[in-house]
Amino acid sequence: MTNEEILGGIAEIVNEVAGVETSEITMDKSFVDDLDIDSLSMVEIAVQVEDRFGSKVPDDELANLKTVGDAVDYVAKHA
Amino acid sequence: MIPQLQQNALVAGARIRGLGSAQPEQVVTNEDIAASGVETTDEWIRDRVGIVERRFARADESLVDMASDAGAKALADAGLAPSEIDAVIVATCTMPSQIPNAAAQVAERIGVSAAPAFDVNAACAGFCYGLGTAADMVRAGSAAHVLVIGAEKLTDWVDPNDRSTCIIFADGAGAAVVGAAAEDEPPGIGPVAAGSAGDLAETIVIPDRDSFIHQEGQTVFRWATTQMAPVAMDAVERAGVALADIDVLVPHQANLRIVEAIAKRLRKAGARSDMTVADDITRSGNTSSASIPLALDHMRAEGRVRSGDVALLVGFGAGLSYAGQVVVLP
């Protein structure tokens, strides 16, 4: 899977969970500061990432995923 | 010779015969909490947990007071005299001390003297455990009518300055009377789907008698939003109905976002889009074992549910423990 494909999948998930436009969801965006996503929405995103890509995202790992790019890299490594 | 012990005659089915609830008078808004010096805002609380206001008991309003009030109302709703109640079960996890239990005092207050009376501690799942136990007692012939009450005074155990918990937890009580189904009546309480996750015991705790409640919000949120819809579906399957038959979904009122996440998963699995979903947390906060019967009683008063509606209940919380069942509303 390419990083573009992972980004596309994550953008769809973030859009569904938090209602953020997919065009806004780019690699350098911070979930909290730029996309206004709170800790509970991050859990919902993690659960959907697990369902979609098969990569487990435990809570302690989730805390390290600050940007969309962090999440894409994490999935690329763990899918 | 092996003695043959006589057994009670079995009963085909149990039903809920009446509901009742009681809340303290004191309404506490999000602004009130922010004004008390806790660093929070109305917007933050509504956004994270969905609560608009909740009720806090005064120092002289006890858990037993609220439980007795709710229990007496459920009895009146069922049209039963106290003498017709054979057992009292109180689900609670916030008694001020380990003994005496709440149930014996509640029985005495209501006028059900000398009734079998015991407390159940399955935290926020307690009402569903109590309801399942009551239905089993009725079916086994141990009791003709059982009064089940969920009652909590969480404010006794919450740090009023801890903004992660003081905005969520509140006080209240809700009750149901369980009795046998008549011969021409179908059973109205389905089998319980219950279980526990003791590996997550440390995620919701009151560490000792001098401590306050603490929870690991993210972990519990993940557990509840992913694991409780399957428990609810298990309860539906055990009751021999379909998700599409469910008129009302009443999850424990832990957090509106958990309630909505469970509803969303159930709808994806076949529950109706017009299924009524309890949102009593907005006005009552998280009242642990009281939240499900409180929500049912409030929804009935508001005309959002009707007699004969099929309701899916699912309680979950500290333990971690969970239980759910399908019931027909009285």
Distances in Å between the Cα of B2 and the Cα atoms of B6, B7, B8 are 13, 15, 19
Is pLDDT at A79 greater than 80 in this prediction?
no
DSSP state of B79: T
The domain covering A3-78 belongs, at the CATH homologous superfamily level, to ACP-like (1.10.1200.10)
- Mean pLDDT on A23-31: 95
**B264: domain range?**
193-328
Q: Is residue B133 very low, low, confident or very high in pLDDT (cuts 50, 70, 90)?
A: very high
Residues of B in contact with A40 (CB under 8 A): 48, 217-218, 221, 255, 257
Is pLDDT at B308 greater than 80 in this prediction?
yes
B176 and B277 share a domain? no
- Based on the residue annotation, tell me whether B252 is a catalytic residue of this protein: yes
Q: Which residues contact B114 (CB under 8 A, 6 or more apart)?
A: B107
How far is residue B330's CA from residue B328's CA, in Å, rounded to a whole number?
7
Flag whether B23 is in a domain: yes
How far is residue B12's CA from residue A35's CA, in Å, rounded to a whole number?
56
pLDDT of residue B210: 86
- Mean pLDDT on A44-69: 93
Residues of A in contact with B255 (CB under 8 A): 40
Q: Which residues contact B153 (CB under 8 A, 6 or more apart)?
A: B57, B61, B62, B63, B66, B94, B96, B171
The residue from B125, B155, B180 where one domain ends is: B180
Residue B48 and residue A38: Cβ atoms within 8 Å? yes
Alpha-carbon distance B223 to nearest alpha carbon in chain A (angstroms): 10
pLDDT of residue B49: 96
Q: Does the N-terminal peptide bond of residue B160 adopt cis geometry, omega within 30 degrees of 0?
A: no
The ipTM assigned to this model is: 0.88
Is pLDDT at A1 greater than 90 in this prediction?
no
CATH of the domain at B296: 3.40.47.10
The residue from B152, B180, B208 where one domain ends is: B180
Cα-Cα-Cα-Cα dihedral of B324, B68, B307, B303, to 10°?
A: -100
Nearest to A36 by CA among A17, A13, A20: A20
pLDDT of residue B267: 97
How far is residue A13's CA from residue B209's CA, in Å, rounded to a whole number?
43
Flag whether B2 is in a domain: no
- Mean pLDDT on B204-209: 92
DSSP state of B274: T
